[in-house]
């Protein structure tokens, strides 16, 4: 079990989740702690993978971008983990999870359109050893994604 | 969405190679100093500063802290398909988006009308979320959930900013 975040951590993260380019000094002044405290806590949280500070780009700003949910069924249940690990190595996939229900694995990616999705599944997913089949759903309107939360695994 | 107005088109922005290179570095380390980025890409520090500011101000890129859901106390992650009847999927989707545990909402085409990703602290909270909150939204016909047993990768670089 990983460490939980305490109140001071949460206050720092709250500030960083709005704009992580803010300086440690600015956060420190705002919270009434020392700059060293902020620096040490941010470092620890990053090292323990409790937070990740990263750039995100706005899907609304790009032409022809839609989110695709790809549900993958494996040949034999014993292959699920190996297939999921292979899929996690595909750069274009932003999410790979072993699922209980609906199908064996869920992979999420961004595509240009239905044709691009079909091509991606055919050329990149179906060729992975152990993949029996895949069915996909194409997003038409991306209403919300709270980028402040994710499973930090790598 | 057939209304391709000038306004819609102007929202799109083209990033050049320098912009992309800066984004790549910031994805790896969001707190990388402007100076270090400049050195890495062999460009002026002021250029880096200006590019980052332009991308931030045009709402194209943000540098943010992402909190691990497990560290935040959410032990469960589910992908739930939603079938809607008698109401517009968009309207139902927006009501779902207002629930904090629902962290991703997409209107889709196919067997489901909406795909959502949710987190939950435990089974009791999940029951409340699915039965009392999501299931009670008018227009929701059926919820088809799948529980994530293991998340191997979760690095969504592509997100909409407007509702997050």
Domains of chain A: 7-47 (1.10.10.10), 59-138 (3.30.70.920)
Number of domains in chain B: 2
Residues of chain B in contact with residue A143, where contact means CB-CB under 8 angstroms, are 90, 93-94, 97, 105-107, 160, 163
Q: Do B22 and B81 share a domain, yes or no?
A: no
* DSSP codes joined into one string, A20-67: TTS-HHHHHHHHTS-HHHHHHHHHHHHHTTSEEEEEEEEGGGSTT-EE
Q: Comparing A43-57, B89-103, B138-152, which segment has the lowest mean pLDDT?
A: A43-57
ipTM above 0.90, yes or no: no
- CATH number for the domain that contains residue B86: 3.30.70.920
pLDDT score, position A87: 97
Q: Average pLDDT in the A9-30 region?
A: 91
Residues of chain B in contact with residue A62, where contact means CB-CB under 8 angstroms, are 12-13, 158
Please, which residues 84-143 of chain B have a Cβ atom closer than 8 Å to chain A?
A: 90, 93-94, 97, 100, 102-112, 115, 119
Please, which residues 32-51 of chain B have a Cβ atom closer than 8 Å to chain A?
A: none
B97 assigned to some structural domain: yes
Q: Do B96 and B45 share a domain, yes or no?
A: no
Domain extent for B97: 76-147
pLDDT score, position A44: 93
DSSP label of A78: G
Q: Do B45 and B87 share a domain, yes or no?
A: no
- CATH number for the domain that contains residue B19: 1.10.10.10
Q: Do B81 and B29 share a domain, yes or no?
A: no
Residue B53 host element (H or E) = helix B45-57
B95 assigned to some structural domain: yes
Q: Do B95 and B53 share a domain, yes or no?
A: no
Residue from the list B52, B157, B163 with its beta carbon closest to the beta carbon of A144: B163
Q: Do B82 and B139 share a domain, yes or no?
A: yes
CA B11 to chain centre: 18
Please answer whether residues A65 and A59 qualify as being in contact, where contact means their C-beta atoms are separated by less than 8 angstroms.
Answer: yes
B164 assigned to some structural domain: no
Instruction: Name which of B36, B65, B75 to mutate to probe chain A: the one with the most chain A Cβ atoms within 10 A of its Cβ.
Output: B65
Q: Average pLDDT in the A124-128 region?
A: 96
Express each pLDDT in B74-128 by its tens digit. Answer: 889 999 999 999 999 999 999 999 999 999 999 998 889 999 999 999 999 999 9
pLDDT score, position B86: 96
B38 assigned to some structural domain: yes
Residue from the list B61, B63, B147 with its beta carbon closest to the beta carbon of A100: B147
Q: Which of A41-55, B17-31, B122-136 has the highest mean pLDDT?
A: B122-136
Residue from the list A58, A108, A141 with its beta carbon closest to the beta carbon of B60: A58
pLDDT score, position B2: 35
């Amino acid at each position: 079990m990983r460490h939980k975040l305490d109140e001071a951590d949460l206050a720092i993260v709250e500030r960083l989740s709005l704009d992580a380019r803010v300086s440690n000094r600015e956060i420190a002044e705002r919270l009434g702690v020392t700059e060293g405290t902020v620096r040490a806590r941010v470092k620890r949280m990053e090292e323990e993978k409790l937070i990740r500070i990263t750039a995100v780009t706005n899907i609304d700003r790009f032409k022809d971008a839609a989110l695709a949910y790809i549900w993958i069924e494996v040949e034999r249940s014993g292959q699920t983990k190996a297939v999921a690990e292979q899929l996690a190595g595909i750069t274009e996939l932003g999410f790979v999870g072993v699922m209980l229900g609906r199908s064996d694995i869920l992979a999420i990616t961004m595509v240009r359109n239905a044709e691009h999705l079909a091509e991606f599944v055919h050329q990149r997913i179906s060729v992975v050893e152990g993949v029996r089949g895949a069915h996909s759903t194409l997003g038409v309107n991306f209403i919300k994604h709270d980028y402040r939360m994710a499973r930090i695994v790598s | 969405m057939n209304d391709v107005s000038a306004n819609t088109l102007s929202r799109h922005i083209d990033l050049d190679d320098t912009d992309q290179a800066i984004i790549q570095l910031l994805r790896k380390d969001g707190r990388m100093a402007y100076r270090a980025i400049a050195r890495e890409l062999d460009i002026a520090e002021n250029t880096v500063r200006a590019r980052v500011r332009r991308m931030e101000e045009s709402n194209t890129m943000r540098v943010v802290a992402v909190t691990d859901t497990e560290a935040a106390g959410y032990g469960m992650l589910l992908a739930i398909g939603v079938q809607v009847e008698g109401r517009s999927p968009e309207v139902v989707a927006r009501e779902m988006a207002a629930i904090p545990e629902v962290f991703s909402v997409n209107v889709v085409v196919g067997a489901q009308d909406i795909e959502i990703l949710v987190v939950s602290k435990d089974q009791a909270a999940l029951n409340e979320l699915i039965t009392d909150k999501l299931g009670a939204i008018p227009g929701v016909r059926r919820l088809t959930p799948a529980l994530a047993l293991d998340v191997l990768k979760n690095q969504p670089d592509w997100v909409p900013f407007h509702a997050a």
